[in-house]
């Protein structure tokens, strides 16, 4: 009965992509640890780019810098 | 000085229900562990049904299936 | 299908107290939101007193100060 | 490669304040533990005042009480 | 630059299984959202069975009941 | 009344360093948002290097590679 929490920046993740993350994370726990998918939970948190920082800067600021391609 | 984090799907939880969750969780820590309510924190996270998965499917998909009653 | 995470300092919480926290938190979600207990998860994290800070000090330091009774 | 998660009530935190939290938390990990800022993540969660409880009451209720100044 | 947190009961997960969870979760974010693996973090929390509850009971209690096979 | 959660790898963080993290994170919230330090919580989680992954590998594996200096 595992719990997976995926945190990503809120940048247009679609319902289909969310479904793919849920299915994939659940299958991973089944494949690696033999967990029961029926009691495997996946929660996706989408975080505003102002609220996520890397290297001391918000992702909003990083995205604004020329040529930033990092996801 | 405990911390309680309650995560539920965002499906119309009212302010009164949130207040009841906060009061109940705080009282639980007082009753079971003798904690000081003044420094007991409760945080409720409401998660979109697209972003919560069980059994490899989003709750949105599960809700759409005929007769699903699970909360 | 809610998730409750209870974080407390690691100070001798017994298995019976943990069971009471699990039962009480689950019942709270049933009573307030009508959730299904079968898919309600409770996770208790016990945190070393060196690793928990309040008011800018570790709980270890706070406990060492004369007369501190705060839980 | 540390991870810092800051949770505050959603009460008008500005982009500049968020940037200051990100920069300050990153620098703290550099100064105290010699961590590499390039792989230090900071995530800020803003929580509705209805969803945050202290002393058994929501922050919304606490704020409504005369003279409450607590942040 | 996503963050994945996997929480499972502490029941003999091996270093190889942990490595497989890390590799699989990272690849999932690459495949579904095109994220950069170099800045994808995975954190696995192993939780004592006394500290994890389902259906109002600790996993320790559930495991002790005859015939329980649920993982 | 903010909450700060700092997650680092378990690699010999001393009680003094933990105290410095607690004091620094608390002061940051006071300085940037005017929060009350008395109700500011800091929780430090130390994560085994087998349980933390970056770039699809555990930190244990990364540390074992010649010349890795990354913290």
Render pLDDT for C30-64 as a digit per residue (tens, 0 to 9): 999 999 999 999 999 999 999 999 999 999 999 99
Check if the interface score ipTM surpasses 0.85. yes
Query: F residues 41-70 near C, CB within 8 Å?
Result: 41-46
In a domain, residue A71? The reply is no
What beta strand segments (E) does A1-71 contain?
3-9, 41-47, 52-54, 57-58
In a domain, C69, yes or no: no
**Residue D28 placed within a domain:** yes
pLDDT at E69: 57
By C-alpha distance, the chain E residue nearest D43 is E3
Asked if residue B71 belongs to a domain, the reply is: no
Does residue C71 fall inside a structural domain? no
Q: Give the model's confidence band at D60: pLDDT under 50 very low, under 70 low, under 90 confident, else very high.
A: very high
Q: Kindly state the average pLDDT of the residues E35-52.
A: 97
Which chain A residues contact residue C3 at CB under 8 A? Answer: 3, 41, 43
Per the domain annotation, does E10 fall within a domain? yes
Q: For residue E27, with 0-12 CB atoms within 10 Å meaning exposed, 13-18 middle and 19 or more buried, which class applies?
A: middle
Q: Which two tokens stand for residue D7?
A: 């949770």
D15 reaches F (C-beta below 8 A): no
Interface touch B43/F3, C-beta < 8 Å: yes
A60 falls within a domain: yes
Establish whether chain F is in contact with chain E, requiring a minimum of 3 CB pairs below 8 angstroms.
yes
Q: Domain total for chain A?
A: 1
CA distance C35 to C26: 9
Query: Which CATH number fits the domain that encloses residue A34?
Result: 3.30.429.10
pLDDT value, residue E67? 61
pLDDT value of position E66: 58
Q: Are F33 and D13 in contact (CB under 8 A)?
A: yes
pLDDT above 70 covers a percentage of chain B that reads 92
Contacts with D41 from chain A: Cβ below 8 Å: 52-54
pLDDT above 70: percentage of residues in chain C: 92
Nearest CA in chain E to D38: E39
Q: pTM value?
A: 0.95
The secondary structure element, H or E, covering residue E44 is: strand E41-47
The residue of chain D nearest to residue A51, with distances taken between CA atoms, is D44
Residue F70 is assigned to a structural domain of this protein: no
Residue B71 pLDDT exceeds 90: no
Residues of chain F in contact with residue C58, where contact means CB-CB under 8 angstroms, are: 15, 18-19, 22
User: B64: Cβ–Cβ under 8 A, 6 or more apart, which residues?
Assistant: none
F14 is in which domain, residue-wise?
A: 3-64
């Amino acid at each position: 009965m595992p719990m997976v929490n995926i945190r990503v920046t809120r940048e247009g993740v679609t319902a289909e992509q969310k479904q793919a993350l849920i299915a994939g994370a659940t299958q991973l726990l089944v494949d690696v640890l033999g967990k029961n998918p029926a009691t495997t939970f996946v929660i996706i948190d989408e975080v505003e780019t102002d609220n996520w920082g890397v290297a001391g800067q918000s992702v909003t600021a990083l995205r604004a810098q020329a040529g930033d391609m990092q996801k």
